[in-house]
Amino acid sequence: MAENSKLLVEKQDGVKRITFNRPERRNAVDAETQSLFQKAIFESAEDGSRVIVLTGAGEAFCAGADLQSMSAMEIKDTDVTATLRTGTNATVLAMRKLPIPIIARIHGHAVGVGCSYALACDILIASEQAKFGQGFVKIGLMPDGGPTYLLPRSIGYARAFELVATGDIITAEQALSLGMINKVVPVQLLDEAVNQLAARLAGAAPIALAKIKQGLNFGVGTDLAGALEFEAVNQDACFHSADFVEGVTAFLQKRKPAFKGK
């Protein structure tokens, strides 16, 4: 395990676990944490990871930006646009572009940019104790980290507007009913649910998973003809991979395939 005071990174059997590690601050993100998180995400494209699990230490997933980490003078002098472009925005874009799936393991509060990071993941699994919120408006801010794009596409414009305009905190069950997350489980079963899914995805065909993620992201911004063309072009890469041969062979032999990403 690679450890920093504010971020934990562990990789085993192709599963890379990234943990926000500021439990005393409910895993609120300061500049150092953001930099460490971005580095861990960037490295995931080339370090052999097959799936990422993103979570937080202690009672919270991530309580958003750490407003206490900056003085009033620092806030006044900060170029927010430049900071977001090189920090949060670059990280979220990298999360969406990674050719591997990211699972958000949400056991407590995921609010502010913490909620944004969760939304940028591919699958969100929450405990019954989890809470979600976009509280930016309560301190005079608009959302950042991607919710103006991601939320309307998952829950619709009207519900997205209500969440970000009121800043209300919602429960895991409410988030599930809105279509914001994938699954809610009892907190004592959360690790089992996350670990089983992570192992399943880590054993899946990497090329196919990469194309699935790329295709779904591409499809959000195109029409049916564009999506069909993407599928036609990229299915060729899957069809001519060694993984496809292995998948068919394993199917015919009635055994579990051993995909290599080739």
Confidence at residue 1, expressed as pLDDT on a 0 to 100 scale: 52
pLDDT in tens, 31-56: 999 999 999 999 999 999 999 999 99
Contact in structure between 125 and 105 (CB atoms under 8 Å): yes
Confidence at residue 3, expressed as pLDDT on a 0 to 100 scale: 54
The CATH number of the structural domain formed by 2-202 is: 3.90.226.10
Query: May I ask the CATH architecture of the domain 206-252?
Result: Orthogonal Bundle (1.10)
Confidence at residue 180, expressed as pLDDT on a 0 to 100 scale: 97
Residues of the chain with CATH 3.90.226.10: 2-202
Confidence at residue 77, expressed as pLDDT on a 0 to 100 scale: 81
The C-alpha atoms of residue 159 and residue 157 are separated, in whole angstroms, by: 6
Confidence at residue 162, expressed as pLDDT on a 0 to 100 scale: 97
Low-confidence ranges of the chain (pLDDT < 70): 1-4, 70, 72-73
